[in-house]
Amino acid sequence: MDHFLYRDGVLHAEDVALPDIAAAVGTPFYVYSTATLTRHYRLFAEALSPLPHLVCFAVKSLSNVAVLRTLGDLGAGMDVVSGGEYLRARAAGVPGNRIVFSGVGKTREEMRLALTCGVRQLNVESEPELRALSEVATSLGVTCPITIRINPDVDARTHEKIATGLKENKFGVPLDRARAVYADAARLPGLRVVGIDVHIGSQLTDLAPFAQAYAKVADLTLALRADGHSIERLDLGGGLGIPYTRGNDAPPLPTDYGDLVKRSVGHLGCEIEIEPGRLISGNAGLLVSRVIYVKAGEERDFLILDAAMNDLIRPAMYGAHHDIVPVTEPAAGADPATFDVVGPVCETGDTFARARAMTALAEGDLVAFRSAGAYGAVMASEYNTRPLVPEVLVRGDQFAVIRARPTLEEILERDRLPPWL
């Protein structure tokens, strides 16, 4: 469910008409719904109750500080994977004891930042990282709470570029080495083992891979406790998918996921951490664009938009689908039309959809890409020296720009000529 609905023939974000935002901000722009973000966070929190838990929003999916503040004020923790994301979470007012630091390539500088400014735990991904973290923590005179990420060799049945739980993936330590690595961690100074971490992929639409992975986590918990380790937390990662099309084939609900967690690991007496990103932010955002031209080709018609692959890379990178709808609601019985929906960037990969059935559109019309809140603005660039797409947050009948579109002058001012030119 989201809060983007037609009202009096015009698509709204909560109580704000999208054409009003377009008139004030220009196009393209991202717009996020506070009500949808709030609802999706609360669904996860309720699904895990009464187990002790912390829902840590995956900052990589949507990292704007205003969004993080919105979720942090609800009690959310944050899952970060870089020093920059850590500082974003802190700038949003999230305390260190609600920030989990993940990522396969943490630098010593990032470790030092987290340990100096406060962190709930670091999820360690490898034996070299374990030793580096021990050195940093010892040099600072602190003890760092850690989990170790386990690679359970489970097929997440998702796109190959976002699968992370198979043995050929770069993430985590092999399950068959887990007990040895935990033994090493217990011997290293400056570290305190507090739990286990696992994350098998993103955009999962089936609970079976979660069940396989969590069964292995449960068995490992018992084995590690028998080895003398204190396993207090289980970080079960994220990955639950969202519907990118309107239809009956919807992914499992957070309530279904919560029931699975309770069945799989609820008997272990651990605090549960999860790291949802897409399911909280994905359907909480739209990308709004304007039609520049309708071009009649020899074999097909092209809908040329002012949004491009640099604004929303997912279709070009993953072949991902987004529903694209007119901002003005089509009249009943409106003439159908089929378009290749493309942007103005000078490569064929700048294509959002091929042979997409839509209603007839004209130059100047607004369209909205649904389910664009996750991995949209965070992956945007200024390719072709196109200004970075702005972000807008709506609450009720109010809206505010939470990341402005830079001017071309501001973009050019970042470049520096060397003294010999």
Range name among 121-130, 207-216, 272-281 with the lowest pLDDT average: 207-216
The pLDDT, as a whole number, for residue 162 is 53
Based on the fold, state whether residues 213 and 321 are members of the same structural domain.
Answer: no
**Residue span of the structural domain in which 313 resides:** 4-31+282-413
Residue 93 φ/ψ region, left for φ over 0, alpha for ψ in the -120 to 50 degree band, beta for the rest: left
Range name among 236-240, 292-296, 350-354 with the lowest pLDDT average: 236-240
Q: For 66-104, how does the pLDDT look when each residue is reduced to its tens digit (9 = 90+)?
A: 999 999 999 999 999 999 999 999 999 999 999 999 999
Q: For 331-345, how does the pLDDT look when each residue is reduced to its tens digit (9 = 90+)?
A: 888 888 999 999 999
User: 365: domain CATH number?
Assistant: 2.40.37.10
How many independent structural domains does the chain possess? 2
In a domain, 55, yes or no: no
Based on the fold, state whether residues 113 and 11 are members of the same structural domain.
Answer: no
Percent of the chain at pLDDT exceeding 90: 83
The pLDDT, as a whole number, for residue 24 is 98
Q: Is the pLDDT of residue 171 over 90?
A: no
Task: Look at 189 and 170; give whichever has higher pLDDT.
Answer: 189
Based on the fold, state whether residues 133 and 253 are members of the same structural domain.
Answer: yes
CA gap 374, 52 in Å, rounded: 27
Taking residues 156-162, report their average pLDDT. Answer: 55
Taking residues 356-383, report their average pLDDT. Answer: 96
Percent of the chain at pLDDT exceeding 70: 95
Based on the fold, state whether residues 136 and 264 are members of the same structural domain.
Answer: yes
Taking residues 227-252, report their average pLDDT. Answer: 84
**How many CB atoms are located within 10 Å of the residue 27 CB?**
23
In a domain, 419, yes or no: no
The pLDDT, as a whole number, for residue 335 is 83
The pLDDT, as a whole number, for residue 159 is 53
Beta bridge partners, 56, equal 77
CA gap 190, 377 in Å, rounded: 38
3-state secondary structure of 30: strand
Query: Could you tell me which of 347, 311, 399 has the C-alpha nearest to residue 34?
Result: 399
Based on the fold, state whether residues 125 and 153 are members of the same structural domain.
Answer: yes
In a domain, 421, yes or no: no
Active site residue 346: yes
The pLDDT, as a whole number, for residue 161 is 53
Task: Look at 212 and 386; give whichever has higher pLDDT.
Answer: 386
In a domain, 353, yes or no: yes
Based on the fold, state whether residues 157 and 241 are members of the same structural domain.
Answer: yes
In a domain, 70, yes or no: no
Based on the fold, state whether residues 182 and 262 are members of the same structural domain.
Answer: yes
**How many CB atoms are located within 10 Å of the residue 132 CB?**
16
Taking residues 123-140, report their average pLDDT. Answer: 96
pLDDT band per the 50, 70, 90 thresholds, residue 165: very low
In a domain, 146, yes or no: yes
Q: For 278-303, how does the pLDDT look when each residue is reduced to its tens digit (9 = 90+)?
A: 999 999 999 999 999 999 988 889 99
Based on the fold, state whether residues 232 and 318 are members of the same structural domain.
Answer: no
Based on the fold, state whether residues 254 and 302 are members of the same structural domain.
Answer: no
In a domain, 48, yes or no: no
Average pLDDT over the chain, rounded to whole?
93
Domain boundary among 274, 295, 313: 274
Based on the fold, state whether residues 290 and 351 are members of the same structural domain.
Answer: yes
In a domain, 64, yes or no: no
Query: Could you tell me which of 67, 56, 77, 75 has the C-alpha nearest to residue 31?
Result: 67
Query: Could you tell me which of 11, 131, 136 has the C-alpha nearest to residue 119?
Result: 136
Q: Among the options 56, 117, 270, 346, which is catalytic?
A: 346
Domain boundary among 243, 274, 305: 274
Based on the fold, state whether residues 296 and 199 are members of the same structural domain.
Answer: no
Q: For 303-321, how does the pLDDT look when each residue is reduced to its tens digit (9 = 90+)?
A: 999 999 999 999 999 999 9
CA gap 306, 315 in Å, rounded: 16
Q: What is the pTM of this model?
A: 0.94
Task: Look at 145 and 176; give whichever has higher pLDDT.
Answer: 145
Task: Look at 388 and 318; give whichever has higher pLDDT.
Answer: 388
Based on the fold, state whether residues 287 and 248 are members of the same structural domain.
Answer: no
pLDDT band per the 50, 70, 90 thresholds, residue 200: confident
User: 174: domain CATH number?
Assistant: 3.20.20.10
Query: Would you say 204 and 276 are in contact if contact means Cβ atoms under 8 Å apart?
Result: no
CA gap 197, 273 in Å, rounded: 9
Taking residues 129-148, report their average pLDDT. Answer: 97
pLDDT band per the 50, 70, 90 thresholds, residue 260: very high
pLDDT band per the 50, 70, 90 thresholds, residue 156: low
Helix H or strand E segment including 101 = strand 99-101
Compute the C-alpha angle 246/252/258, nearest 5°: 145
Domain boundary among 230, 253, 274: 274
